[in-house]
A and B are shown apart, each in its own frame.
Chain A
């Protein structure tokens, strides 16, 4: 007898409960199940309208040669777009770049947020709340402002990076904003500038750790490094998993928890940028849809792999919590 069932049958719980348990048809939903469905129905309708139907529609579009400027010439072309995609050198290139961005920024953000969180959680820190807020502050600055700021900051002629940091140190500095090193630097910097949510997640996880375990290990003679790698890290693995998911979504070109993505290309994902290019500059909607679907499949494979790997390395203290 669940409290939940009683909850939804306010006045005469016992009577209502008997009435519904006597229903013979097993496909008939119980009253509380129907009420739950009613409550989540706005989301279900949104899921159908803005997610499932568009995903299927875009699968349909991906099998056509739909062009924005000449919609009347649209016809079914079968797998033509997908074959074109496999022969497109640019696809391989942006896919490689996306993977490169992912395997460089995700660990960078992860390590930076854990280090920052362990320092900001230290009880010796003065003005802890103010410090945490100030370290969090860049994460809420709108992406456009961040973009203007970094572009100005690294500007070869007027920016401060050359003038105040690099030249006084005797370094040559940036001459070309669009060189490989400059772009890599900007990617790294802008990913470090949005670690706020990740840092807070780590902070929460670190503060939730029971101190007894650390004490016991210390008594047994474990040093700080051993304690960090063998006790702290496994215990905060759920937070690490959560942070990886958040950062991964940014690499896929999504926005979650204040993550602005990469402010220089609109997202951290070069692949996403290429789809935008095909979509808005070439207006080749059929091909863009096939590119998006191809990426969707890759993303889902990565996500399923990540979630099924979680069983091996993420620590769940209480399964049914």
Chain B
């Protein structure tokens, strides 16, 4: 039997023990979150590892998960593969295969080549190889040869910049109108704004495509993708309006009394206070443009020179349907958005939180 005094550390009212339990709980909690994160991002690890693999490793069942290849040893002018060979004595030696035969093979020990050939009985095909870490850039080399990657990245950047200017200017002005001016019909226009977010894409697709491609003859150019952005985007307008509404009107009125016009109030009073939301919206648009393939598939399949990166890499699937090449393409495609997210996370993550709160 343990005496009550011995179990004192278990009692919840003991200050030290409470802190200890708290620390253990927090530690387990953090460990749990960390393992969840690892599981959540595990496929990304697969993508990165496979992108640096050589082709033969993909089909090799015994190969480890990281980019690697079987250790080679040069013997008598030829490269010999090294295997883990279980010796009759019970130990396992790493030997290079020199003469493979069905039932017994000849090996050489890379550590002691002067020992001469070692006879081993058994099927060498059942032996497991010795692997070394060996990443390769061949997949990326192939990718850059098959696709004009720099040109496609440049296309995406130019498209992003043009549409960013258009969508930000128009959405900011429209959001200002929604947040600060009484509109005829009360909230009618605002309900219409929300409704446009909910309209399924397909119901507008056929006439829009016909109008752009056949009437205006914009097929094979960026115009059908970029022009609609100059008329604002309902989601961005909604997010900006919510933010503008949260800014007190006192400052507007003060500026107005000082003689500032409405546009001047927008650019000199409201925008300086809402730049985190403006940055968030521009980042959302950046990620959207980097992801965009649907419009490109509609309008740009006839002119490959104008293809954005996402659409270009998508077409790579039919060019080289081998896993390590595809993963290299995926890695190239995601690297820019990931870097942008990491750089901007201080603003983006915080403001997305605030924006969501305000629904």
Q: Which A residues are within 8 Å of any B CB, using their own CB? A: 2-8, 10-11, 13, 29-30, 32-33, 35-40, 42-47, 49-51, 53-55, 57-58, 61, 119-120, 122, 124-126, 129, 131-138, 140-146, 148-153, 155, 157-160, 163-164, 197, 200-205, 207-208, 238-239, 241-242, 245, 249, 252-258, 260, 266, 272, 275-276, 279, 285, 288-289, 291-293, 295-296, 299-300, 303
Stretch at the interface among B72-80, B105-113, B129-137, B174-182: B174-182
User: How distant is A200 from chain B, measured CB to nearest CB, in Å?
Assistant: 4
- Chain A residues lying within 8 Å of B338, measured Cβ to Cβ, are 137, 140-141
- Chain A residues lying within 8 Å of B333, measured Cβ to Cβ, are 142, 144-145
- The reply to whether the CB of B199 lies closer than 8 angstroms to some CB of chain A is yes
User: How distant is A49 from chain B, measured CB to nearest CB, in Å?
Assistant: 7
- Chain A residues lying within 8 Å of B182, measured Cβ to Cβ, are 2, 4-5, 30, 32-33, 36
Q: Is the CB of A289 within 8 A of B29?
A: no
Residue B37 contacts which of A58, A135, A275, A295 (CB distance < 8 angstroms)?
A135
- Chain A residues lying within 8 Å of B223, measured Cβ to Cβ, are none
Q: Is the CB of A153 within 8 A of B206?
A: no
Q: Is the CB of A158 within 8 A of B341?
A: no
In the bound assembly, the distance between CA atoms of A151 and B329 in angstroms comes to 13
User: How distant is A90 from chain B, measured CB to nearest CB, in Å?
Assistant: 16
- Chain A residues lying within 8 Å of B357, measured Cβ to Cβ, are 201, 204-205, 207-208, 239
Residue B29 contacts which of A124, A163, A256, A299 (CB distance < 8 angstroms)?
A124
Q: Is the CB of A152 within 8 A of B37?
A: no
Interface-central residue, A45, A144, A276, by most chain B CB under 10 Å: A144
User: How distant is A214 from chain B, measured CB to nearest CB, in Å?
Assistant: 17
Q: Is the CB of B33 within 8 A of A119?
A: yes
Q: Is the CB of A7 within 8 A of B265?
A: yes
In the bound assembly, the distance between CA atoms of A115 and B135 in angstroms comes to 38
Main secondary structure of the interface of A (DSSP, over half): helix
In the bound assembly, the distance between CA atoms of A159 and B324 in angstroms comes to 11
Q: Which B residues are within 8 Å of any A CB, using their own CB? A: 25-26, 29-30, 33, 37, 40-44, 46-47, 50, 58-59, 65, 170, 173-174, 176-178, 180-184, 189, 192-193, 195-208, 211, 228, 230-232, 234-235, 237, 249, 252-253, 256, 259-262, 265, 284, 287-288, 290-291, 293-294, 310, 313-314, 317, 323, 326-327, 329-331, 333-334, 337-338, 341-342, 345-346, 349, 352-357, 359
Interface-central residue, B203, B211, B284, by most chain A CB under 10 Å: B203
Main secondary structure of the interface of B (DSSP, over half): helix
In the bound assembly, the distance between CA atoms of A298 and B177 in angstroms comes to 32
In the bound assembly, the distance between CA atoms of A285 and B232 in angstroms comes to 28
In the bound assembly, the distance between CA atoms of A6 and B25 in angstroms comes to 58
Q: Is the CB of B204 within 8 A of A55?
A: yes
- Chain A residues lying within 8 Å of B232, measured Cβ to Cβ, are 42-43, 46
In the bound assembly, the distance between CA atoms of A11 and B260 in angstroms comes to 9
18 intermolecular pairs with C-beta atoms under 8 Å apart? A43-B170, A47-B192, A49-B231, A50-B204, A124-B26, A124-B29, A131-B33, A148-B326, A153-B47, A159-B46, A159-B323, A239-B356, A254-B197, A257-B235, A272-B202, A288-B206, A293-B203, A295-B203
Residue A6 contacts which of B29, B42, B253, B355 (CB distance < 8 angstroms)?
B253
- Chain A residues lying within 8 Å of B249, measured Cβ to Cβ, are 3-4, 7
Q: Is the CB of B204 within 8 A of A51?
A: yes
- Chain B residues lying within 8 Å of A125, measured Cβ to Cβ, are 29-30, 33
User: How distant is A290 from chain B, measured CB to nearest CB, in Å?
Assistant: 11
Given A142-B333, A148-B317, A149-B47, CB of A163 within 8 Å of CB of B359: no
Q: Is the CB of B353 within 8 A of A279?
A: no
- Chain A residues lying within 8 Å of B184, measured Cβ to Cβ, are 29, 33, 37
User: How distant is A101 from chain B, measured CB to nearest CB, in Å?
Assistant: 15
Q: Is the CB of A8 within 8 A of B47?
A: no
Q: Is the CB of B40 within 8 A of A135?
A: yes
Residue A40 contacts which of B189, B260, B262, B288 (CB distance < 8 angstroms)?
B189
Given A4-B180, A150-B43, CB of A10 within 8 Å of CB of B355: no
Q: Is the CB of B231 within 8 A of A58?
A: no
Q: Is the CB of B206 within 8 A of A289?
A: yes
User: How distant is A12 from chain B, measured CB to nearest CB, in Å?
Assistant: 11
In the bound assembly, the distance between CA atoms of A257 and B348 in angstroms comes to 13
In the bound assembly, the distance between CA atoms of A216 and B327 in angstroms comes to 53
Residue B174 contacts which of A42, A54, A201 (CB distance < 8 angstroms)?
A42
Pairs of residues from A and B, 9 with the lowest C-beta to C-beta distance, nearest first: A46-B231, A36-B181, A39-B177, A201-B356, A204-B357, A57-B207, A145-B330, A54-B204, A40-B177
Q: Is the CB of A249 within 8 A of B291?
A: no
In the bound assembly, the distance between CA atoms of A145 and B312 in angstroms comes to 12
User: How distant is A313 from chain B, measured CB to nearest CB, in Å?
Assistant: 15
Question: Which residue of chain B has its CB nearest to the CB of A307?
Answer: B194
Question: Which residue of chain A has its CB nearest to the CB of B199?
Answer: A51
User: How distant is B5 from chain A, measured CB to nearest CB, in Å?
Assistant: 31
In the bound assembly, the distance between CA atoms of A296 and B231 in angstroms comes to 23
Given A144-B293, A295-B200, CB of A207 within 8 Å of CB of B353: yes
- Chain B residues lying within 8 Å of A119, measured Cβ to Cβ, are 29, 33
Interface-central residue, A42, A135, A238, by most chain B CB under 10 Å: A42
Given A7-B252, A144-B293, A200-B349, CB of A292 within 8 Å of CB of B41: no
Q: Is the CB of B181 within 8 A of A204?
A: no
Given A119-B33, A142-B337, CB of A39 within 8 Å of CB of B173: yes
Residue A152 contacts which of B290, B313, B327 (CB distance < 8 angstroms)?
B327
